Structures are given as C-alpha cells and as structure tokens.
Amino acid sequence: MSTITVRAAAKRFSDGCLALDGVDLMIQDGSFTVILGPSGSGKSTLLRLMNGLETPSSGQIFVGQRPVIPKNLVKIRCEVAMVFQRFNLVDRLSVMTNVLTGRLGRRSWTGTMFHLFRAEDMAIAAKALDRVSLTERAWCRVDKLSGGQQQRVGIARALAQQPKAILADEPVASLDPVTGEEIMVLLREICDQDGITVVVNLHQVELARRFADRVIGLNSGRIVFDGSPAQMTPQALETIYQRGGDDAAAKREMALALA
Amino acid sequence: MGSEPVAALQRPAPALPPKPRAHAWAWAAAVAAFLLAITWHLGINFSALASGLGDIAEYIHRYSTPNFTDWSRYLALMGVTLATALWGTVIAAGLAFVLAPLAARNFSPHPAVYRGAREALNFMRAMPDLVLALMFVAAIGLGPFPGALALGVHSAGFLGKFLAECMERVDKGTCEGVASTGAGFAQRLAFVAWPSILREGFGYLLFILDRNVRMASVLGMVGAGGIGLELYNSLRIFNYDQSAAMILVILATLLMIDHAASWLRRRLE
Amino acid sequence: MRLQSAKWRWPSPSGLPPARLVGGLLALLLVLWLTAPLVELNLPRLASSSGRFLRFASQLAEMPDWGYLPQLLSKLIETMEMTVLGTFIAIVFSLPLGILAASNTSPHPWACRLTRDLLSLMRAMPELVWALIFVSAVGLGPLAGTMALAWVTVGFLGKIFAEAIEVVSPRALEGVRAHGAGRIQTLQFAVLPQALPDLVGTVAYILDHNLRSATILGLVGAGGIGYDLVMSMRMFQYGRLVMIMAAIYLIVTALDRGSDRLRGQVIYGQ
C-alpha cells in the first residue's frame, strides 16, 4: 500500500509566509489526482512535503506506513519520484545518464561515484526511455533537446526509479499546449498501465477535467474543493480561484486557468 | 510688451535643485595626502630616483651580454622547477577535490563541516607559499619536494575556494532533481556538482598551474630546489651576465607555459 | 572492445568511459611518474619527517617574544605601506598604458602590439625576482619592494584595463565623437565611465595579492617583514617566528574578508 497521507500539515517559511495552513489529505494508491489552485496557494509546497524536499512546520506526512523524516528519506525517495516544471536535469550529461540517476537511490556510492552502472540498471533505464519514445536520443546531451523532450527525459528518470508514486509539480507550465497535452497523456498512461499513483499540480482547469480521477482545489494553503471533475461547477471554480476580496485578480486567475 | 510666447521666454528659469557637493575632489586630495605620507614614512626619495633615471640605461646595459655557458644546468634546474610546479598543482587538486564539496553551502553535509572546511581553506591560503616552503624544508629537509608540498597546500586554498564558489552557483533545481531520486552525498557530487563545474573548474586549475610555475621558480631561494637559488646567488654577487642568462631562461619558460595554457584552454572551448 | 555484456558499464554506446578523459588521466599519471625523481619524491623520508614536523610545530607553541612587538608592528606597517603605495602607483601608470594597449583607443597598431608585449613581460616573472633585480639597481630597502610590486601590477592591470576598454560599446564612442569631441574628451566621457566600474573588484583582488607578495619580499632585502621572517627561522627564534606568522595570517585574512565584502557590494550594487 502506498497511500500518501497528509495529516494536519502546515508550513510557514522563514520570511513569514504561511504556505500551508492545516491540510488533511489521503491519496489513494493507483489514483490520478490533480491539485488545482492559483499561484501562491501552496500547491508546490504540498507536493514537496510528500517527498521530503520541504519539511512541515507542524503535522505529519506518511508514505504507506513510513513517516517522511530525514531517516527515511532515501527509501521514500526510491518509492516516490518527482517530475519538475523546469525539468531539473543535469545539462551537461547525456539523456541516458540523466535517466540512470533515477537508479541512484538503490545503489551505494562505490560504483556509481565513477558513473559505473550495473547491466540491470542500464536495462531498466533503456526500458524507461523506450516508454517515453526517446530511445534514439539516448546519447545526446540533454540541453540540446526541446522542452517537451526534456520533460520526457524527466519522466523517464522518474520511471527508472520503479516508483510507487510520481509527483509532478507543474509539469506542463513551461511547455506549449500541444506538447503539454502529450505529457499529460503520457502521465495518464503510466498511471493506468503501470498502476503508479500520480499526483499532478496544474493551473489549467481543462487538463484537470480531462485527465483527473480526483481534483483537489487549494487556496491560501487550505483545501477548498475535493471531488471528481464532474463536480467542478463554476461556483466551485470561483471558490478555488478567489483571491481574498480582490475580484479583478480572481477573474484574471480564472481566465488564465480556463484558457 | 510682446505676445505670450516671448513673455514666457523672458521669465527667469526655474531654480535648479542644489548641486550635490563635489566630494570627488576632496577624496582625491585625501588619497594623495595619504600616499605622500606613506612615501615619506617609508623613507623613499622619488626625486633621487628620478635624477638617477639616467643611470637606468647604464644599469640595463649590464644585462646586455648574457652568459649561456652553463645553459644545460639552467635547463635542468628549470626542469626541476616545472616538475615541482606540476606536483604541487596535482597535490592542490587532490586537496581541493576533498575540501571544495565540503566548503560549498549547498553540498556540505552539515553547517559545522562547511564552516570548518572554509576556515581550513582560508588558513591554507593565508600563509605565503614561501613561508610554508620554509617550514616544510625545516621539517623534511632540502630539496624540491617540500617546495611541491608548500605549493600544493597553499594553492589548494585558492583552488578549493574557487571550486566551492562554482559549486554554490549550480542551479538549485538541478540539485533537487537528482536529490529527489534518493541520491546520497557522493552521488550528488558525482552527477551534479562535478559535471556542472568541470569546464570552469579546469580553467581555474590551469590558472593555478600557471601561478605555481611562477612561484616554483623562486622557491629555490629557501632551499626548495629549482633555479631560484642560482639566480639569487648570482645577483647577490652582481654577476649580471649569468643572471641575464638565467632570467632569459626563466622568462622563456614562463611564456611558453602561458601559451600552452591558453592553447589548452582554447581547445576545451 | 565492447562492454555491453559486462556486469558493470559506463553510460556510453560502447560501455567505456570517454576516451579523452581516460587518455588525459593516463598521460598525467605517466608524466607524474616520470618527474617523480626530479622532484626527489621519497615517501619513506616523508613518513619519518612527520615526527620532525610535529617537533617543529610544538616549538612554535613557545612563549611569544613580546619584546619584539614594536619592531614587528613597524615592519608590518612598512609591508602594508609598500602594498598600498605600489598598487596606487601601478594604477596611475596602467591607465595610460592600458589606453595604449587597447586596439580601439591606441594611436597606432604598432604602439598597441608593443605595449601589449611590454605588459606581458612585466608580469611574466614573479615579484620576488623583480625585487631581486630592483635591489641590485636601487639598493636594499622598501623602495625596491614597492617598485617590484608596482611593476608586476602594471603588467596585470594594464592588460585588464586594455581588455575592459576594448569591450566598451562602440555606439557610445560614436555618439560622443559625433558631437565633435576630441580624443581626450572621448576617453573621459565615453570610454572611462564604462570601463572603470569593473576595476573596483579587480583592485580589491590586486591589493589582496600584493599584500601576500609584500610579506615575503624582505627575503631579498626589499623591505617589509619578510627579512625578519626568514631570519627568525634560520636562527631558531621561535618566539618571534610564531608572532610573525600570526601577524601575517591576521592581516592577510582581514584583507581577504574585506575584499570579498567589497566585491560583493560592488557587484550587487552599493
């Protein structure tokens, strides 16, 4: 069971900003969840709490039975992979090496320190590359690839980890709409065919409607909506995108989201 | 006595805001006074120097007949100098390889380790290499290796600091990308830190090598091998011919190393 | 040779690490092995000397010779004065030389080449060698040291300045010239304002470097604390030696931190 449980999590940053204000959440194993919300609502923070890239000021996070604490980070990160908005690949290295970094959590430093990998790791990485249709680019430097291709490398890296869950933090925000949709299709495919739990941060409502099983709306660090896409009425959307009295900003956010 | 536009021209111009005081001249005068005070305190007499300018031509003339009869010995000594510089640079690279990741805030395993590594690098830098060479010669004995050790320790301080600063500039997202796969300290170094700074780091290494070749040529003056001692002895007894020859050998070698380093740097582009 | 079927491989088509990397490393190891005798690498002697090193270090822990303090301070001040004076003289001389050495402001391509070569020669040798030469020219004392520092710094600063001038925007130059400005005015209003701001960081670095050099110029009699340093070591006056080493460490570190902070301020705006 790799249910991700968030219990009364709150996060206040050192500059005083309250990113999350008491969030309770349980992500079901094998589901495809989309987290919607305006910028600054705490979507990114919530996702990053799940694999330990941020620590909560109060509350607890669990992946399966394991609490997300420094002692467990390596094991948790083996099971929970992440895909980033700006891809976060190592520019100078090849596509294959970047995908292979997905295997690092399970290997000790002795061989990998010299960029040596086992044959089975190479096979897993090759399969992941094939899954995202980038096999013929295996030896290219990643900074020579297009945005869409780089994001697919990011997804291949996540797949190479053989994770139980994939967290995607605004994976399509830096991509054009067509490429973005291809990425969402890929993520959905991975969820359906491999049974991997997928949690995606988005601000495009249409994509949420089309791909999600469950939509969670976040605003000012609190969950204000939790239901299926069918339940996303215009009133629900307004609740998600409201901006504390500032109607103009709210309307702008919604316009952008519905574009 | 005219139409409106002309009357407008005849109105006095609006008052400008008060001009900021010209501090620049005050600063320049203070600096000049300060420098004059230093000159006086050091007991330097520039007018005497200026009147002695005529002697400069004569002085330069003393070097005009370099004596190369001992050229094979000079070349051998230069070879020792170069070898000392190479070993010193390799030792520095080894030390910096270990210390630089610890001295980079984003890779260091613990803030205390970070502070410790930074202080260690500072300490290694602070002592002039000649002083370190003196100490190592006193401990190990005469010869080029104490010089190589001194160069290694001292330039590791610089190289380590440069490399650590390079690492701190690595994009935070890239670090997080690999960290999110569960990679440990050594793995993050191998896949994020070193690959990202390789080009810049190698440039710094060449800079350090260049610097070490220069310093190695004078280490001989404290008994650490190389051509330095020869030159020192020769100039002390005012043997200008031999000194001129040695200076030319040193100059030629240094310029060659400079060119080789630039060529290497360009080949990496 | 292909490592496709081996248990461990590198991430490359052949399974082997990049040829250039391996070739370079092997070449380096070969050169090191060949030059080891030149350097008189003697590992057993090294191991046994650690004992001597510790004894030396423990001798340094002797009581400092407080009676030496006045002379120490005066020599330290002399060292710092040499640094400051040498650097400023260098700044004054490197401005016109830099202008001559920059291809866009030099009056004649020959002047440009000649100046560049001259600057290159000036910085070719370490300060200590120049100090040795200047001592034989003007005698013992801080004058020789100051001259040596200034000489090498001009070689360095002149080149930096020439490069800064060469990257000045030509449009700014044209704009000022189009209004009838003469050569000097062009320099004053178009070239210098663009080229100068970078120099503050460079001057900070140079002061730092020159202070370190100045501490040892006394070795050849060119003024500063270097002479006392070497003498106290040769005569085993460890009480003085530890004070000198501590003093050098303090002033070099202080300037190092100061110049870091100054550079930080200049880069990120005052």
**Residues C119 and C31 placed together within one structural domain of the fold:** no
User: Which pLDDT tens digits describe chain A residue by residue (259 residues)?
Assistant: 668 999 989 999 988 888 899 899 999 999 999 999 888 888 999 999 999 999 999 999 999 889 999 999 999 999 999 999 999 999 999 999 999 999 999 998 888 899 999 999 999 999 999 999 999 999 999 999 999 999 999 999 999 999 999 999 999 999 999 999 999 999 999 999 999 999 999 988 999 999 999 999 998 889 999 999 999 888 888 888 887 656 666 677 777 777 6
Instruction: Give all chains having 3 or more CB-to-CB distances under 8 Å with chain C.
Output: A, B
Per CB-CB distance under 8 Å, the chain C contacts of A97 are: 11
**Residues C110 and C225 placed together within one structural domain of the fold:** yes
CATH classification at residue B250: 1.10.3720.10
- Which residue matches tokens 């089975």? A120
On whether any CB of chain B is under 8 Å from the CB of C142, the answer is: yes
* B50 has a pLDDT exceeding 80: no
Identify whether C216 is part of a domain: yes
Rounded to whole angstroms, how far apart are CA atoms A159 and A46? 22
Q: Which amino acid is at A97?
A: T
Identify whether C113 is part of a domain: yes
Closest partner CB to B127 (pick from C52, C146, C248) = C248
- Predicted pLDDT at C83: 95
Identify whether C193 is part of a domain: yes
Q: How many domains does chain C have?
A: 2
Closest partner CB to A119 (pick from C7, C12, C13) = C7
* C150 has a pLDDT exceeding 90: yes
Identify whether B9 is part of a domain: no
* C267 has a pLDDT exceeding 70: no
Q: If contacts are CB pairs under 8 Å, which of residues 107-166 in chain A contact chain C? A: 111, 114-119, 122, 139
pLDDT mean across residues, chain B: 87
- Predicted pLDDT at C268: 52
At B157, the pLDDT band (50, 70, 90 cuts) reads: very high
Quick one: what percent of chain B has pLDDT higher than 70?
91
**Residues C164 and C218 placed together within one structural domain of the fold:** yes
Structure-derived torsion over alpha carbons of residues B210, B216, B218, B219, reported in degrees to the nearest 10: 150
Q: Which amino acid is at A45?
A: T
**In Å, how far from its chain's centre is CA A90?**
18
Structure tokens at C44: 């057993």
Rounded to whole angstroms, how far apart are CA atoms B139 and C50? 7
- Predicted pLDDT at B269: 67
Identify whether C54 is part of a domain: no
Rounded to whole angstroms, how far apart are CA atoms A85 and B125? 41
**Residues C72 and C36 placed together within one structural domain of the fold:** no
Predicted confidence (pLDDT) per residue in C163-212, tens digit? 888 877 777 777 777 777 776 677 667 776 776 666 777 888 899 889 99
Per mean pLDDT, which of A41-50, C103-112, C248-257 is the most reliable? Answer: A41-50
Does A243 or C94 have the greater pLDDT score?
C94
Predicted confidence (pLDDT) per residue in B199-249, tens digit? 889 989 998 998 899 899 888 888 877 888 888 888 888 888 888 899 899
- Predicted pLDDT at A82: 96
At C1, the pLDDT band (50, 70, 90 cuts) reads: very low
Identify whether B39 is part of a domain: no
Identify whether B76 is part of a domain: yes
Q: Among candidates B96, B74, B228, which has minimal Cα distance to B156?
A: B96
Does C234 or A127 have the greater pLDDT score?
A127
Question: Do B142 and C40 contact (CB within 8 A), yes or no?
Answer: no
- Predicted pLDDT at A155: 96
Identify whether C174 is part of a domain: yes
Identify whether B150 is part of a domain: yes
Structure tokens at C157: 């600063």
Rounded to whole angstroms, how far apart are CA atoms A135 and A157? 13
Identify whether B246 is part of a domain: yes
Rounded to whole angstroms, how far apart are CA atoms A47 and A202? 12
For residue C99, the enclosing domain spans: 66-268
Question: Do B59 and B182 contact (CB within 8 A), yes or no?
Answer: no
**Residues C137 and C175 placed together within one structural domain of the fold:** yes
Instruction: Report the gap between the CA of B18 and the closest CA in chain C (Å).
Output: 23
Q: Average pLDDT in the C65-94 region? A: 92
Rounded to whole angstroms, how far apart are CA atoms A82 and A96? 17
At B8, the pLDDT band (50, 70, 90 cuts) reads: low
Identify whether B18 is part of a domain: no
ipTM of the complex model: 0.88
Dihedral sign of CA atoms B217, B218, B220, B223 in order: negative
**Residues C109 and C197 placed together within one structural domain of the fold:** yes
Answer whether B184 sits within 8 Å of A74, measured CB to CB. yes
- Predicted pLDDT at C269: 45
Q: How many domains does chain B have?
A: 1
Closest partner CB to A115 (pick from C5, C7, C10) = C10
Question: Do A155 and A83 contact (CB within 8 A), yes or no?
Answer: yes
Kindly identify which residue of chain A lies nearest to residue B190, measuring between CA atoms: A113
Element (H, E) at C236: none
CATH classification at residue C122: 1.10.3720.10
Instruction: Give all chains having 3 or more CB-to-CB distances under 8 Å with chain B.
Output: A, C
Q: How far apart are the first and last CA of chain C?
A: 59
Q: How far apart are the first and last CA of chain A?
A: 37
**Residues C179 and C256 placed together within one structural domain of the fold:** yes
**Residues C221 and C137 placed together within one structural domain of the fold:** yes
Rounded to whole angstroms, how far apart are CA atoms B19 and B21? 6
- Predicted pLDDT at C81: 93
pTM: 0.85
* β-bridge partners, A94: A141
Q: Average pLDDT in the C53-57 region? A: 78
Identify whether B189 is part of a domain: yes
Instruction: Report the gap between the CA of B71 and the closest CA in chain A (Å).
Output: 46
Per CB-CB distance under 8 Å, the chain A contacts of C17 are: 114-115
Closest partner CB to A116 (pick from C5, C8, C13) = C8
**Residues C3 and C88 placed together within one structural domain of the fold:** no
Identify whether C14 is part of a domain: yes
- Name B227's Cβ contacts closer than 8 Å, sequence gap at least 6: B74, B77, B78, B80, B81, B217, B220, B246, B249, B250
At B264, the pLDDT band (50, 70, 90 cuts) reads: confident
Structure tokens at A161: 């980890």
The 3-state DSSP composition of chain B as helix, strand, coil percent (nearest 5) reads 80, 0, 20
Per CB-CB distance under 8 Å, the chain C contacts of A114 are: 17
Structure tokens at A8: 């009364």
- Predicted pLDDT at A175: 93
Closest partner CB to A139 (pick from C7, C9, C12) = C12
Rounded to whole angstroms, how far apart are CA atoms B231 and B29? 42
Question: Do C11 and A122 contact (CB within 8 A), yes or no?
Answer: yes
On whether any CB of chain B is under 8 Å from the CB of C196, the answer is: no
For residue B163, the enclosing domain spans: 70-268
**Residues C125 and C88 placed together within one structural domain of the fold:** yes
Predicted confidence (pLDDT) per residue in B12-22, tens digit? 777 777 666 66
At C51, the pLDDT band (50, 70, 90 cuts) reads: confident
pLDDT mean across residues, chain C: 84
Answer whether B250 sits within 8 Å of C132, measured CB to CB. no
Rounded to whole angstroms, how far apart are CA atoms C123 and C100? 17
Answer whether C81 sits within 8 Å of B43, measured CB to CB. no
**Residues C19 and C117 placed together within one structural domain of the fold:** no
Question: Do A201 and A168 contact (CB within 8 A), yes or no?
Answer: yes
Question: Do C129 and B218 contact (CB within 8 A), yes or no?
Answer: yes
CA angle A5/A11/A16 to nearest 5° reads 175
* B109 has a pLDDT exceeding 90: yes
Identify whether C58 is part of a domain: no
At C44, the pLDDT band (50, 70, 90 cuts) reads: confident
Identify whether B1 is part of a domain: no
Rounded to whole angstroms, how far apart are CA atoms C12 and A160? 17
**Residues C132 and C204 placed together within one structural domain of the fold:** yes
Please classify residue C169 by burial: count the beta carbons closer than 10 Å to its beta carbon, then call 0-12 exposed, 13-18 middle and 19+ buried: exposed
- Predicted pLDDT at A247: 65
Dihedral sign of CA atoms C1, C6, C12, C17 in order: negative
* C6 has a pLDDT exceeding 80: no
